Structure 1
């Protein structure tokens, strides 16, 4: 079972990482209440996506057991955000997967949470103008990630910024947000350490809230961000 790690974070959340190598057939027996989950499996998911979906739910089970919380079904609300269905005061949860990695964040009840993992690839740089505003784009030219094989604004940096915006989107819990206008990153110039933290803002419903996004490199070729 390739559970990579379960890490307690400051203020109570648990961060879980799963290095996915199994097929769906190998994951189903590890999932409690598998019969109840079977109708929830996305109909169009191919083998790799089924494995990611299943590994996420097995990982959440392990996080609940580590926390000593009761077993609960993972469902999605009307905005597509996952939640644990069952008795009141269950932990808050967020999930993500990309390539060989599945990640989850389990937080105290009522917390707003977001997590995202991304395979580093050229797409994030190609679509940067769709999710970064002009100020963020200009700031990205002044940033280098520690340990990155590229100097300056690398593929890894753009993948990290995309991941950070995805984490903010999950934190907001609303559909239809414009990434360039409502999910904002304050990008300091210089060389960023890995792991590290990144200041961010949510502009929602006429109000602004400040957040700290944590980021790390879970493995070569991947970036991970989370916020609680």
Structure 2
């Protein structure tokens, strides 16, 4: 079943996971308002990107149905000029949407009257190779210490750190953020699932956040954060 799970994070937010196994044609058949979405599909997307794009929107509508039921009529997933997804037609009851895809997994959070971020990543060596570019000096030292005793977990750990910063970035909903200076992660004990304390440094102010993580499937890591609007 491609729809892997739907999970209430609270009474106002739902997290969903979709395992992507279908070609684009099958996803089109499951998508409400397909005619509208045909005009929104990126023209440069190849078959893989099309499938990920479509699955994200099918999943978003499934979460909307779970959260607000028939009130989703007329809602459409749009993208702003920077590519960030948003929901049109929600003036009466503001809804936040966060989407992510990597490999065969698509993740989404829909939140009502609150904000959210979600990120799913294939575990690979890229995050470790680029760690000095997105981790602060203190975070880099913590990561090295955390993986020194178990080097076989290094790829997973660094991917998890990258994913956590991606989730914080989506929560911030601002462009031009410097990952190693404005998206900060505190020390934590790495486990199969858990929480990472995070700090957003925006406009001279610091705010604290809690990023949840776990592995939705072997070879993948998922992070998410949901909280009331500031």
Number of residue-to-residue matches in the alignment: 220
Gaps of 5+ in 1: 145-149
Contact 1:105 1:114 in 2 (8 A): yes
**1:164-193 deviation digits (Å, cap 9, x = unpaired):** 0111111111111110111000023x4x22
RMSD: 1.5
C-alpha distance 153-137 of structure 1, shift in aligned 2 (>3 A) = farther
Aligned mates of 1:32, 1:132 — CA distance in 2: 41
Give the match for residue 114 of structure 1.
117
Give the match for residue 147 of structure 1.
none
More moved, 129-138 vs 72-81: 72-81
**Structure 1 residues 90-101: aligned runs within 5 Å:** 90-101=94-105
Aligned mates of 1:136, 1:92 — CA distance in 2: 30
**Structure 1 residues 35-114: aligned runs within 5 Å:** 35-67=35-67, 68=69, 69-71=71-73, 72-88=75-91, 89-109=93-113, 111-114=114-117
Give the match for residue 128 of structure 2.
125
Give the match for residue 173 of structure 2.
173
Aligned mates of 2:33, 2:153 — CA distance in 1: 45
More moved, 10-19 vs 212-221: 10-19
**1:98-138 deviation digits (Å, cap 9, x = unpaired):** 000000001122x2211000000111111111100110000
Counterpart of 2:72 in 1: which secondary structure? coil
Gaps of 5+ in 2: none
Contact 1:141 1:153 in 2 (8 A): no
Aligned mates of 2:184, 2:115 — CA distance in 1: 17
**1:42-92 deviation digits (Å, cap 9, x = unpaired):** 121111110000000000111111112413101123443211100321421
State the 1:152 CA deviation. Answer: 6.9
Aligned mates of 2:79, 2:208 — CA distance in 1: 26
Aligned mates of 1:80, 1:173 — CA distance in 2: 11
Contact 1:143 1:152 in 2 (8 A): no
Report the TM-score, using the length of structure 1 for normalisation. Answer: 0.92
